[in-house]
Amino acid sequence: LVSADADAEGDERLVEAALRPKRLEEFIGQARVREQLSLVLQSALRRNRPPDHVLMSGGPGLGKTTLALIIATELSAPIRITSGPALERAGDLAAILSTLSEGEVLFIDEIHRMARPAEEMLYLAMEDFRVDIVVGKGPGATAIPLEVAPFTLVGATTRAGLLPAPLRDRFGFVAHMDFYDAGELERVLHRSAALLGLELPGDAAREIAGRSRGTPRIANRLLRRVRDFAEVRSDGVVTRDVAAAALNLYEVDAEGLDRLDRAVLSALLGKFGGGPVGLSTLAVAIGEEPETVEVVAEPFLVRQGLLARTPRGRVATAAAWVHLGLTPPPDAFG
Ligand code: ADP
């Protein structure tokens, strides 16, 4: 069970950490990635060498961090965790690389946001297990080579397309994480409910899974909201109706669209007549960063057939008009 402390503190991140699967065989869904990764890890263990560097690409909450931790556990290796934005200067990265122990896993989240000089240092470290520390400035500057213990880099990115080719090419294995199907999300929910000590009937799990945007992190988050709701309104008993009422209260609609998703669609229809409109114009209209709209909202809306990305911009489909209770214009897309 998840410790009562973690839960009582209401610290969502603590609970999230407690709900992470620890071993590859506990990791639900992503069957292909799991099998591929399992081979990479097993052969490395057999050869007694650190495995190839691994890149994981996919939207937020699909399990990239979880898999990175699992990789270290399966290898019985320590793991160092950092993120692209934290590696502003080459020195930040050098400090980490020079203190890695042999076989250690280095996890860099949001690796596409690393600063250029750090990135270039990383190329060399990945390939030759060495870094060049530049001392001094101008013509008198010298590079002092420094050995790095053989390590495994695990990079995670929500935007693989932004990775420069030289970096992407240095990963021996690229795992593409996709949205989870409803059955997989139901399994995630049943597992989490058991860890939280919560009784979750099958139809309630199905109701929550259907509204989880194909994403385990969202499934777990909605499960906790349903639990809160049940504690206050129905003596802690979760039924399908309780789940639906809770999720309506939190503005997650029957198709799983949340406020951001609906804001994107409403602006697209209301302000731009269904498009086409450019990403940044659309983002400004709802007061969000273009990256948030592109990474968080759009992939799901595209998958649901509500939005299309065309060379001329973002376009709402006829289904989007219907979803918002409007009549699609005769020339609506799709
Ligand atoms: P990411 O790093 O891709 O943003 P995380 O690895 O942090 O996503 O996953 C978010 C949450 O979803 C974690 O707390 C974990 O419990 C849960 N989760 C993710 N993938 C799975 C999975 N395959 N099986 C069970 N739970 C998962």
**What is the tens place of the pLDDT at every residue in 144-167?**
899 999 999 999 999 888 899 999
CA dist 247 and 103 (Å) reads 44
The mean pLDDT of 219-238, rounded to a whole number, is 95
Cβ contact 309:299 at 8 Å: no
Which atom of ligand 1 has the smallest separation from the CA of 66?
6
**What is the tens place of the pLDDT at every residue in 88-129?**
998 999 999 999 999 999 999 999 999 999 999 999 999 999
**Percent of the chain residues topping a pLDDT of 70:** 97
Which atom of ligand 1 has the smallest separation from the CA of 191?
25
pLDDT of residue 2: 56
Mean pLDDT of the chain: 93
Q: Which residues pair with 175 in a beta bridge?
A: 56
The answer to whether 217 is a known ligand-binding residue is: yes
Amino acid occupying residue 94: A
Phi then psi for 221, rounded to 5 degrees?
-70, -45
Residue 256 has pLDDT above 80, yes or no: yes
The mean pLDDT of 244-250, rounded to a whole number, is 95
pLDDT of residue 333: 84
Residue 13 has pLDDT above 80, yes or no: no
Q: How far is the CA of 128 from the centre of ligand 1 (A)?
A: 32
pTM of the model: 0.91
ipTM of the complex: 0.99
Which atom of ligand 1 has the smallest separation from the CA of 69?
6
Which of 66, 220, 223 to probe ligand 1 with, by most ligand atoms within 8 A of CB?
66
The answer to whether 34 is a known ligand-binding residue is: no
Residue 1 has pLDDT above 60, yes or no: no
Residues that are catalytic: 64-65, 109, 158, 217
Q: How far is the CA of 269 from the centre of ligand 1 (A)?
A: 33
pLDDT of residue 228: 94
C-alpha closest to that of 55 among 33, 29, 77: 33
The answer to whether 314 is a known ligand-binding residue is: yes
pLDDT of residue 10: 58
**What is the tens place of the pLDDT at every residue in 21-38?**
999 999 999 999 999 999
CA dist 90 and 134 (Å) reads 10
Q: pLDDT band at 315, cuts 50/70/90?
A: very high
Residue located nearest, by CA, to atom 12 of ligand 1: 217
Q: How far is the CA of 325 from the centre of ligand 1 (A)?
A: 33
Pocket of ligand 1 (CB under 6 A): 16, 19-21, 27-30, 60-66, 156, 188, 216-217, 220
Q: How far is the CA of 67 from the centre of ligand 1 (A)?
A: 8
Which atom of ligand 1 has the smallest separation from the CA of 20?
16
**Hey, what are 306's tokens?**
């509500």
Residue 230 has pLDDT above 60, yes or no: yes
Between 198 and 137, the more confident residue is 198
Write the DSSP symbol of residue 5: H
Q: pLDDT band at 177, cuts 50/70/90?
A: very high
Which of 24, 55, 217 to probe ligand 1 with, by most ligand atoms within 8 A of CB?
217
Contacts of 140 (CB under 8 A, 6+ apart): none
Q: pLDDT band at 17, cuts 50/70/90?
A: confident
> Per DSSP, which regions of the chain are E strands?
54-57, 79-83, 105-109, 130-135, 142-147, 152-157, 173-176, 307-310, 313-316
Residue 248 has pLDDT above 60, yes or no: yes
Residue 7 has pLDDT above 60, yes or no: no
Specify the range with the lowest mean pLDDT, choosing from 5-14, 113-122, 286-295: 5-14
Q: pLDDT band at 217, cuts 50/70/90?
A: very high
pLDDT of residue 334: 78
The mean pLDDT of 67-83, rounded to a whole number, is 97
CA dist 248 and 280 (Å) reads 30
Helical ranges in 172-215 per DSSP H:
182-196, 202-209
Residue 3 has pLDDT above 60, yes or no: no
